[in-house]
Amino acid sequence: MPKAPALPLFIAAQLPLHRRTYTLREGSDAERTIHYIDHGPAKGRPVLMLHGNPTWSFLWRKVIAELEDCRVVAPDLLGLGLSDVLPRLQDHSVKRHADAIAELVHALDLEEAILVGQDWGGPIIAAVGARLADRVAGLVLANTAVALPPIPRGTAFHRFARMAGFSDLVFRGLGFPQNVMRFTQGDKRSIRGDVARAYRWPLRGWADRVAPLALARMVPDSPDHPSMPELRRGEAWAIGFRGPVALVWGERDPILGRALKRHERAFPEAKVTRTQAGHFLQEEVPEALATAIVDIGTQLRRTRA
């Protein structure tokens, strides 16, 4: 796979991990390029980590540092990080994002993988699991919404994103929400300085800022929302998955902290780790996520022994 583009020094110093790019060959996004971290021993347990809105693979760097024996693949969703931009709001859908990540998994020939998803990364990675069930061995969900509410409505944040015109100005003109990520944290100091700059850097201009608004509008506000068929498909796969599942949650998350109860009901056999982190818990409690992944890997080895 081709090498990834260079990073500015202030990000490179924080992200000393192997990175690559892959050019998609199929579907609506053929010829577009996905940037991804591919770090760790080639024969290590594959772990596929997927971020959400408005972040990129940089989010996982602290967790990856704790997983010396795993091969961690952490892609950037199209439109975020260093992956190619999707130019129109309507280009973004659960299906297109899941199709792209599933193609990457095939291209890298990941087998017996542990899937890890946070924020939009959870539903999208569940949709990937529904496509590639025979390649999945374990599942870790963190501050996400794979188990859907009975009547989806979204939050005030998502209702604001649907205010055409004004939300375009705020998201695309003012760089929202990547410039206020710290306010979703348990410890607001966890995203500041060069860390905060690293999240803002890929979304520097109006043309780069389609994805944050598009992904906010992808959150369903009714049972008839266009995202629902793929979300239901991923939800059904995840709930029916018979491998080991872990839930790692930041209970001080103002967006999805309360969604833990719904996921405990949907995944009664899952091991649950509660923390006092916020939404982007990878910045606050990376060791909790890494421990959950290692524990699942240990379970899988014992099962196959």
- Residue 180: which CATH number? 3.40.50.1820
Pairing of strands 70-75, 45-50: parallel
**Which residues form the domain of 276?**
9-304
Enter the pTM of the model: 0.97
Cα–Cα distance measured from residue 3 to residue 137, given in angstroms and rounded to the nearest whole number? 28
* Cα atoms found within 13 Å of the Cα of residue 82, Cβ hemisphere only: 21
Going by C-alpha positions, the residue among 253, 244, 255 that lies closest to residue 294 is 244
- How are strands ordered across the β-sheet holding 136-144? 19-23, 33-39, 70-75, 45-50, 113-119, 136-144, 245-250, 271-275
4 occurs within a structural domain:
no
154 occurs within a structural domain:
yes
45 occurs within a structural domain:
yes
Cα–Cα distance measured from residue 294 to residue 297, given in angstroms and rounded to the nearest whole number? 5
Tokens encoding 192 = 């500041």
200 occurs within a structural domain:
yes
Any idea which residues carry the catalytic annotation? 119, 253, 279
262 occurs within a structural domain:
yes
Residue 62: CB atoms within 10 Å: 17
1 occurs within a structural domain:
no
- Interacting residues of 166 by C-beta distance below 8 A, sequence separation 6+: none
Going by C-alpha positions, the residue among 81, 125, 122, 62 that lies closest to residue 281 is 62
Cα–Cα distance measured from residue 127 to residue 232, given in angstroms and rounded to the nearest whole number? 9
270 occurs within a structural domain:
yes
Total domains, the chain = 1
35 occurs within a structural domain:
yes
The answer to whether 45 and 16 are in contact (CB under 8 A) is no
Chain center to CA of 95? 15
pLDDT tens for the chain, 305 residues long, are 688 999 999 999 999 999 999 999 999 999 999 999 999 999 999 999 999 999 999 999 999 999 999 999 999 999 999 999 999 999 999 999 999 999 999 999 999 999 999 999 999 999 999 999 999 999 999 999 999 998 898 888 999 999 989 999 999 999 999 999 999 999 999 999 999 999 999 999 999 999 999 999 999 999 999 999 999 999 999 999 999 999 999 999 999 999 999 999 999 999 999 999 999 999 999 999 999 999 999 999 988 76
